[in-house]
Structure 1
């Protein structure tokens, strides 16, 4: 049986610092009087106006569930700027609430939270699980050790939800990072935040906005796979009637697979973004699956090339006719799926010294 723990009301002028136990705990940063998922009054109900407190929650041991504020934030309620630490165990952390349904998308419903999963295989949501409308906070998520799943805002995003500008750090393990969420319903004006995703070590899966997008537009995201063999999607794996953001993708070391926008189906109405793919020394053998000659740019740093004419002898085709860029012989190379070497020009490249120059 899990322990149910809640803090004192934020209007009393005190911020809560709540510790769990070494058993499974359910912790809410603030108490509200209309009940909660367990049917218990006073703890973890609905926040409909005002703002939650600036709380600190520490799950300690056990498989814990932590909510920075309430079970539901609705109308004109707003989450506080909370710090959540899952501690040991396989924990689930919600920066603000399980569900967010603000009065309209202009309401900033989520607080600016910091979430740390700690040890174990954790699941972190910067704002909530189900965010129908409103705006997410600008959150910082750190998975820590273990195979973690991080969503900058929520699992599911609704019609008028606008994602916050979040920073996600996978840490050790094979992690899954979603800048905004996993699923986006058929939306009219949903917008992804401008997020930063860092896979860390391990074979990671990074999506700049949402895994499945149906409408709305993606944010301008930065994705860095770090060590390991990573898969990066700048916007979504599958997008329908959506507009991609202008993203920066860095595979890091290892053999990585990069999509500036996503694994898109031509039958769907999709507006792709102008993306940049960045490669430096020890980048490994990488593949780009959706390079667009009229929009996208490949930036190469640290290999000593001055310009396109200097690099041109290192461009060829593989047996399938795909362009191959040999950055350092066959050790570090990039394959452009569906692009021929003859199609490339100086307009598709930026050459830097030891550092990237974002364009």
Structure 2
């Protein structure tokens, strides 16, 4: 299988040839680490088996895209041919360009001594090993099967980093110069600050948002840094085989019920996840919202659901038509969204990207920019 040409083409799409990440990208066989994956088809997840179509396999795995490898508790490796499942992704192989971007934000270079990364498919771990040497890399995941599978496949690549099964938000082993997490957290775990060496840097994303945070450890045991200008989203941490579904009962009500309040919005209908900045601001103000969307011809409906029983449903028949909004429960979720859109309309931007990040030794995380501040 001539995978090398595909890998080099991918490397050339992501970095310049003189970049020190070029060779790791060009020489790491991603197909070995991702032999099967899930594709989204009509709202469900259909199993894809690379060995059944090697040509497509190479085209897919050596493209700059994220490949979902686990949906709910079902890993693609363990699914029967032809399987279609429902649920939320619980593990993936992050798109290669973002993996390299993460490492660049974390300032992983030839002088970096020890790096802690999260495992997933093992692709990011393999790139770090190729760049730094396996003796400098520790890779962790909460799922024993993911760790065992990634270890077995990296053995085929003759890469043997230190791999451990543990919760990234809990007590962690060792001491590190860099922590790079491909799962999102809220707030930053205090355990990261305890094991990060003085002057060390962490990289992560804030759960529910598109905010990338980099921060350097300070003498008081905390850390300071910035929200980067470029957005990204990762799956949030979990402690079980699957995420819970706290909005199931709210959804049953919100689909068709009349709201306690009904209004017509002044703005065109927005499905919040389509706007990184708006989504991030809203998630900071009201964490935990479940966003859903449905289209039927020209009519589009979006829902906002919260575990506390709050919900909003907005329906519009066209772009220029202000949506009719129903809201119920203890909070008015659409009103919270409108306040953010008012600010965006008034100021031309939202303060989240470029915000200063201050992390206390206990993990309390504060974002601030100008007169705006929020503590997670």
Q: Tell me whether the two structures share a fold, i.e. TM-score over 0.5.
A: no
Bin of the TM-score, shorter chain as denominator length: under 0.3
Bigger relative contact order, structure 1 or 2 (CA pairs below 8 A, ≥6 apart): 2
Q: From the two aligned structures, give the one with the greater strand fraction.
A: 1
